[in-house]
Structure 1
Amino acid sequence: MVLSSLVIISSSKSTLVHNGSPNFSNTENKKLNILAALFTSSGSHFAFFKPLLEELARRGHNLTVLSYNPRKNNNIDANVLPNYNDVLLTDPKFIGENVINLQEKPVDSYFINFDNIFRMRHFGLTYCEMTLNNPEVRQLIKSDQKFDLIFMETFCGDCALGFVHKFQAPFIALSSHEIMPWINDRLGNPDNPSFIPEFFKLHAGPMNFMQRVLNTLSLLADKLAYEIGYTGPHQKLVDDAFGPGVPPLNEIAKNTSALLVNTHYSIHGSRPYVPNVIEVGGMHIGKPKPLPDDIKKFLDDSPEGVLLFSWGSMVNASSMLQVKLDAMLNVFSEVPRKVILKWESDELPRKLKNVMIKKWLPQFDIMSE
């Protein structure tokens, strides 16, 4: 439903910008030129964006996609969607998989937010610098190409807003997770810390008075850290790449036409949203694909069911502290069913008959079996 609405929006034949805002009054068919600036290397982030972009291409729109996850590197024939143009931002080996070392994570505390924020700051500046130094991206910046719509990811920086200034097109923000703390203000979206847990979830669910106070302080600290640590360095990189005259990025951000966020109230809890913040949780879920033979046999031979254990694409589970690994394996050995575990090494330190390890798991396909 959301995709259909978006495609109707994007099919406007009239001018798309009117007094600084999108003008979508005419819904006659038109093939748009769309730029997608997706600067996070994580494959799990891109998995959320990919179905939307491919469907728009299937419907005839012309897409230029700046990403670390090009379709041609995923054994997809480029001729299938010739109007989907990939721009690879860096070496495909630089993908954000298995990059979080569990031994480096601090003990859960009120200070963990600062570790997360500065870790994301490093990622954001790295992605931004590599992107804007990419030869194809530099050529795009210097070109006279026209775009009718821009998609950009909201995660660890606003580097992509330079393209909004350059091409003077309306833009839609995409979030593959809950809304980052610094995004709500630019959309006028309610973000009341007295009952809405901040992004890093020091507390979830009903909070007592002291928890509300700490939640409020944490939210303010997140926004302050972003303003001090992110905005200036990203502005400098954008100014260097796009030349003088780029307005403050936080001013450009206030012109966000809409935000599509990968959440759903049934999982993340209910909260108020302004009309242009749209929950599209599950948009990336399609039809399951056939499983590899070994995984299928493992599941078929398990009438009692199988426990799937995975921390996703970015956490390196094999970096777990030995004491925690021993505790986890002890539980697995006592579970009265088989376990399939995402594990980045070739072997487990302790071999268990009921455990299958894989460096990568088709999670959705497994759960659909």
Structure 2
Amino acid sequence: MISPASSYRFGWSKITVEPACGGYVNTALSVSLQIVSTENILFLQTLASKSHHIWNKQIFDRLYDNGHNLTILSFEEETSVPGKTFLVVEHFMERVMAEYKDGWDNVDLRNPFKNIMMMYEYYGISSRILEKDDAVQQLLAYPKTFKFDLIIHDLTMGQFLLGFVEYFGNPPLVSVTAFNIPPHVTTMADTPLRTTYMPHYASCFDSKMSFLERVKNTLYWTVDIFMRNRVYMANENRRIKRLFGKEATSATIIERQSDVVLVNADFSMDYYQALPPNVIPVGGLHVSRKENSPPIINQFIARANKGVILLSFGTNIGSEMLGERINQAIFNVFRSMPNYGFIWKHDQPEKLGVPPPNLLVLKWVPQATVLSNKRTKLFISHGGLLSLQEATWHGVPVVALPMFVDQFSNAEKLVRAGVGVALPMLDIDETKLGKAISTILDEPSFTTKMKERSYHFKGQPQHPLDRAIFWIEKVIENEGLSYLHSPAHDMSVFAVYGLDMVGVVLLVAVGYYLLIRKHFKKRSAPKKEHKSKKE
């Protein structure tokens, strides 16, 4: 068993000698046997996505640099060092996809209902496999008395892992997600839900919807909330009971204990949404990460006549997965534009044949570094949020080729803002892709508007990563921030929405109505009798 991260860290100390009567100050750096007491943090990653790992890594690496000890559940291979212990879930994505792909091959996920159903099926399969994984069992083998000063949970999925909060004595909880603002934040953090101007991620609506779009959008939210609360979370709660005992608190209750919720959103790019004080936007905290750029890339960029164009479908989608037809179409378009250099991230470059001089095909590309280069003119992307945030930060317009989940709505945001062109991945051919690329290269307004968008994205009082770390360490320092919790969590639905008051008013109104009706009946009865006697 990998032992928990130690509660102590060795450090370096600086010894400064100052003479009493002036003169030079002598400073020496020496190895210190001083032991610095630090906080222990459990970081529960839940999504087997390299891009999400990159986003989370910025957080746990900075916390480690700040002197904290971390125990990290990870789906990526990382080397444990003193103060940073990794519990690695091995070959997880392969195991999930072996089950998951059977029912979803060749399904066009532009249909929002199919998109929502697909997501919750993926979440359910992932949790079922993760529940039995050795890494989770290793964490269960930790003594309950081990003191974690904070638990960070990736709220995107894997809610059954919240059972570790109670298991380790209910330390403060911080929830984070690289998935923008997931729909269930509305219930776990009491975020106001306005389906009339808050587009669901599976739709392609903006905040100004027609009547019919508002009806559809409300249906998407309703289906999502039902699937999450009645199906997915019901299964997660059963998993908690199996792992942590029949008396264990449900994930539904524990997730609402989050002192702070860090979401990957920034309203210079996203639609308006009212957020409570403990939901903190930290969108783009990964954009300034440092990546080494090999000489071959630097030389290729420098030689490109009119600049370079980067094609990368992120960490979860490989170009080779798109099939021969689409790959050949992309290859032909690049070859037909010799004045531009194309950098193509492709896991199987040997299948493309001999590339022309203006094409560099690599299995790995330092995406952030290439986008930050001033000679990069265009980014061809799958429309993943993290990639689009990087492109926006560096002011590079985008041709988005979305496939699933939030990629369609992300692409639509680019189009509405005038900073990109969208072409669904399944619709790619040489003519359409060539036209999309030329549209942006031939029209300067795309670059101009993206530079403006970049200016607003960067115009923050502090870097998003600094803001995230500030709030996490504030939670640790104060052992929780209960004053930020919504009072709605301790209220019934009737009290929250004032239904009890409405009920009382209706009862009073009905009571008055019945009294008045009875009164008028009594007054009208004698008149009828008198009239009949007279006759």
Pick the TM interval, shorter chain: 0.7 to 0.9
Among 124, 135, 138, which residue is 2:127 paired with?
124
Say yes or no: does 1:56 pair with 2:89. Answer: no
Task: State the AA in 2 paired with 1:39.
Answer: T
Task: State the AA in 2 paired with 1:65.
Answer: I
Distance in 2 (CA, whole Å) between partners of 1:223 and 1:367 is: 37
Q: TM-score, normalised by structure 2?
A: 0.57
Q: TM-score, normalised by structure 1?
A: 0.81
Say yes or no: does 1:87 pair with 2:87. Answer: yes
Change (3 A) 1:287 1:245: closer
The alpha-carbon deviation at position 351 of structure 1 amounts to: 4.5
Give the root-mean-square deviation of aligned CA atoms. Answer: 2.7
Contact 1:96 1:313 in 2 (8 A): no
Say yes or no: does 1:146 pair with 2:153. Answer: no
Structure 1 residue aligned with 2:269: 267
Say yes or no: does 1:360 pair with 2:364. Answer: yes
The alpha-carbon deviation at position 86 of structure 1 amounts to: 1.7
Distance in 1 (CA, whole Å) between partners of 2:158 and 2:265 is: 20
Structure 2 residue aligned with 1:251: 253
Change (3 A) 1:270 1:350: farther
Contact 1:37 1:66 in 2 (8 A): yes
After superposition, the C-alpha distances for 1:44-81 in whole angstroms (9 at most, x for unaligned) are 11111112212222222221112123531xxxxx55xx
- SS in structure 2 at match of 1:266: coil
Distance in 2 (CA, whole Å) between partners of 1:60 and 1:135 is: 27
Change (3 A) 1:286 1:112: same
Distance in 2 (CA, whole Å) between partners of 1:55 and 1:107 is: 37
Contact 1:42 1:96 in 2 (8 A): no
Distance in 2 (CA, whole Å) between partners of 1:130 and 1:51 is: 25
Contact 1:103 1:320 in 2 (8 A): no
Distance in 2 (CA, whole Å) between partners of 1:289 and 1:117 is: 34
Distance in 2 (CA, whole Å) between partners of 1:257 and 1:322 is: 49
Structure 1, unmatched stretches of 5+, are 1-28, 73-77
Structure 2 residue aligned with 1:26: none
The alpha-carbon deviation at position 224 of structure 1 amounts to: 0.8
Contact 1:39 1:128 in 2 (8 A): no
Say yes or no: does 1:188 pair with 2:195. Answer: no
Task: State the AA in 2 paired with 1:124.
Answer: S
After superposition, the C-alpha distances for 1:151-176 in whole angstroms (9 at most, x for unaligned) are 00011231221011212111010001
- SS in structure 1 at match of 2:87: strand
Distance in 2 (CA, whole Å) between partners of 1:287 and 1:320 is: 29
Distance in 1 (CA, whole Å) between partners of 2:119 and 2:204 is: 12
Distance in 1 (CA, whole Å) between partners of 2:207 and 2:166 is: 40
Structure 1 residue aligned with 2:228: 226
Structure showing greater radius of gyration is 2
Change (3 A) 1:203 1:186: same
Describe how 1:10-21 pairs up with structure 2 within 5 A.
none
Structure 2, unmatched stretches of 5+, are 1-35, 374-535
Distance in 2 (CA, whole Å) between partners of 1:195 and 1:129 is: 41
Structure 1 residue aligned with 2:163: 162
Contact 1:186 1:254 in 2 (8 A): yes
Structure 2 residue aligned with 1:344: 347
Distance in 1 (CA, whole Å) between partners of 2:305 and 2:186 is: 47
Task: State the AA in 2 paired with 1:118.
Answer: E
The number of residues matched between the two structures is 330
Change (3 A) 1:282 1:216: same
Contact 1:182 1:223 in 2 (8 A): yes
Task: State the AA in 2 paired with 1:176.
Answer: A
Distance in 2 (CA, whole Å) between partners of 1:222 and 1:365 is: 37
Distance in 2 (CA, whole Å) between partners of 1:107 and 1:151 is: 31
Greater fraction of residues in helix: 2
Distance in 2 (CA, whole Å) between partners of 1:134 and 1:250 is: 20
Change (3 A) 1:128 1:342: farther
Contact 2:127 2:158 in 1 (8 A): yes
- SS in structure 1 at match of 2:342: strand
Structure 2 residue aligned with 1:41: 48
Distance in 2 (CA, whole Å) between partners of 1:368 and 1:118 is: 37
Distance in 1 (CA, whole Å) between partners of 2:369 and 2:68 is: 29
Contact 2:198 2:272 in 1 (8 A): no
Structure 2 residue aligned with 1:334: 336
Contact 1:181 1:222 in 2 (8 A): yes
Distance in 1 (CA, whole Å) between partners of 2:252 and 2:217 is: 24
The alpha-carbon deviation at position 127 of structure 1 amounts to: 2.8
After superposition, the C-alpha distances for 1:279-309 in whole angstroms (9 at most, x for unaligned) are 1112223353331122222212114111111
- SS in structure 2 at match of 1:315: coil
50-59 vs 100-109, greater mean Cα deviation: 100-109
Among 309, 320, 326, which residue is 2:322 paired with?
320
- SS in structure 1 at match of 2:262: strand
The alpha-carbon deviation at position 338 of structure 1 amounts to: 1.6
Change (3 A) 1:105 1:343: farther
Structure 2 residue aligned with 1:279: 281
Distance in 1 (CA, whole Å) between partners of 2:273 and 2:94 is: 30
The alpha-carbon deviation at position 96 of structure 1 amounts to: 7.3
Structure 1 residue aligned with 2:25: none
109-118 vs 218-227, greater mean Cα deviation: 109-118
Task: State the AA in 2 paired with 1:293.
Answer: P
- SS in structure 2 at match of 1:151: strand
Among 288, 291, 305, which residue is 2:293 paired with?
291
Contact 2:150 2:173 in 1 (8 A): yes
Task: State the AA in 1 paired with 2:84.
Answer: Y
The alpha-carbon deviation at position 346 of structure 1 amounts to: 3.1
Distance in 1 (CA, whole Å) between partners of 2:260 and 2:310 is: 35
Distance in 2 (CA, whole Å) between partners of 1:346 and 1:162 is: 44
Change (3 A) 1:244 1:117: closer
